[in-house]
Structures are given as C-alpha cells and as structure tokens.
Amino acid sequence: MAKVLKWLRLALIVGPAILFAYFAWMVRYSNHPEKYPLELRYRRVRKLLFKILRHLRLSLTLEGVEKLNDGKQKIVVANHLGIFEPLMLIVLSQKPISFIAKKENKKKPFVGRIITAIDGVYIDRKDPLSTLREFRRLAKRMPETGCSYVIFPEGTRNRHSDSVDLLPTHPGSLKLATMTKLPILTLAHFGSERTLEGKSNWRSYPVQFSFLTMTPSIEDKDTVPFMGEVEKELIAKVRKMRQIDKEYLEQGKNRHKADKWWRREGLCSILASI
C-alpha cells in the first residue's frame, strides 16, 4: 500500500509535466536527435528531471560536486543501484552528461527516450566486439560535442546494496577512457534505489552522492590495476555511507520532512541555469 500511495502522489504531482514533455519534445528529440542541438535537448531534459526530483522527498548529502562541474569533459565511473542516479547526475551537471547503457534500456518508454535524447550509447554486454565499435564511434565524436559520459563498470545494478558493497566490475568498460584520454572521476552513492523503487513511503529518503578521486587519464595497460583501485575506493566509501544511512534510519529521521536541498547555497549556482 505504501508503494501505491507513493506512486499515486508522484503521478498526480509530476505526471502532467511528464506527459506534456513526452509528446511536446521527448519523442522528437529521441527519434531525431541529430536535428536539434545537444545543448537544447540537454536543457529540456534537465529542467524536466529537476521538476521530478524536487518531489521525491530527498534528504540529499553531496560531497565534491564541484569536481563534476569543473568545466572539463570527463568519464565518470560509478557504482550502479538503479535509474535514480542517472537522473540526479543530469540535474547536478551543468554541462551535458550522458550514459553508456545496456541495450535493454532503449526500449523503456521514459528512461530510454531520455537517454537517447541526450546522446546516450547502448551496448550489448554479450557482444564485446560491437561494444568496442560503439566506443570507437563515440570516441571520435566526443571532442565535437563536449559531452561527458558515465560508465557503470558493474554492468548491471546492484539489487542488494544493503549487504553487497559492489558487484564484480569489468575493466573493459574503461576502454572509452583509454581511447579518449579524458580524466576519470569516481562516484560513490548510496540509498538512491529506494526513492523510486522501494516499497516505503517515507517523509524523507536519505541519499548520498560523493565524487571522489579525479584521475587525469589512463593507458590500456593500466585498466586492470586502475579498476582494482576504483573498486577499493568505492567499497570503502559505500561501507561508510551504509553506516551513515543505518544511523539515519535508526534515529527515525526518515519520518521527518525532507529539506529543500535545491535551495542550499552550494547548489544554487549549479541549478541556476535550469
């Protein structure tokens, strides 16, 4: 019942905006992205997602978000819990950022349209050669677009974040980073999956995002040891986040109204362009 009430509330509040966007521009942008400037598509998507996220009752903790908004094109490597973190990353990133997603996501009516509209790339996890071809094509056009990309090296979302720190990672997912020689920003987050997919209907949902190490670039020969370091960093941070989350819930803070995170001093300048 709690989950039904949560979705009903969201449908009534943001449903009309989503439906309008879907028919007004989302279908056009996702069917023919080449006809519209990336900046225009990204701005429309970001504005819509901001409207949605404002109503998700987030108790948001952010660390190092200035690293995401340093003006440089980059590759973001993150753990993966669900569909929430891509939405939040778009809102937090002033410059266009998109995603390397599994091909199954392309068929999802909302998520697939959003990812396609902002130049997302879909890969077949069972076909390494086709993935390599997609990376090569993307690496060639990235200097022109200036768009950053997010990679989830686990390959799929972690459905047991309460007990599993990180799923096995795939060093081959860093191939795009070695091709482009772009800096790599490591992102750890926790709690995001409950906001849209949980069975609860809390007054506030603790979500933590922490942008960690920025690595200038890596070579092909360094992907395996580098991924090993990324794993250690993510696992250590996720464990700390889990403990903070546990204390938040034990203290019953989820029963208190969430603050208006978008009005915080550190975020006002980032969100001003929306």
218: three-class secondary structure by DSSP: coil
Q: Residue 266: what pLDDT?
A: 85
pLDDT confidence bin for 2, thresholds 50/70/90: low
Domain that holds residue 156: 2-271
pLDDT digits (tens, 9 = 90+) for 72-121: 999 999 999 988 999 999 999 999 999 999 898 888 888 899 999 999 99
- Tokens read off for 103: 């091909």
Distance CA 33, CA 39 (A): 11
Distance CA 150, CA 95 (A): 13
pLDDT confidence bin for 1, thresholds 50/70/90: low
Of 101-110, 218-227, 239-248, the poorest mean pLDDT is in: 101-110
Domain count, the chain: 1
Q: Are strands 205-215 and 184-190 parallel, antiparallel or unpaired?
A: antiparallel
The amino acid that residue 169 corresponds to is: T
Based on C-alpha coordinates, what's the Rg of the chain?
A: 18
Q: Are 77 and 153 in contact (CB under 8 A)?
A: yes
CATH of the domain at 249: 3.40.1130
Mean pLDDT, the chain, integer? 94
Listed residue (100, 210, 229) closest to 171, CA to CA: 229
Distance CA 25, CA 110 (A): 12
pTM tops 0.85: yes
251: three-class secondary structure by DSSP: coil
150: three-class secondary structure by DSSP: strand
Q: Are strands 75-78 and 184-190 parallel, antiparallel or unpaired?
A: parallel
pLDDT at residue 6 tops 80: no
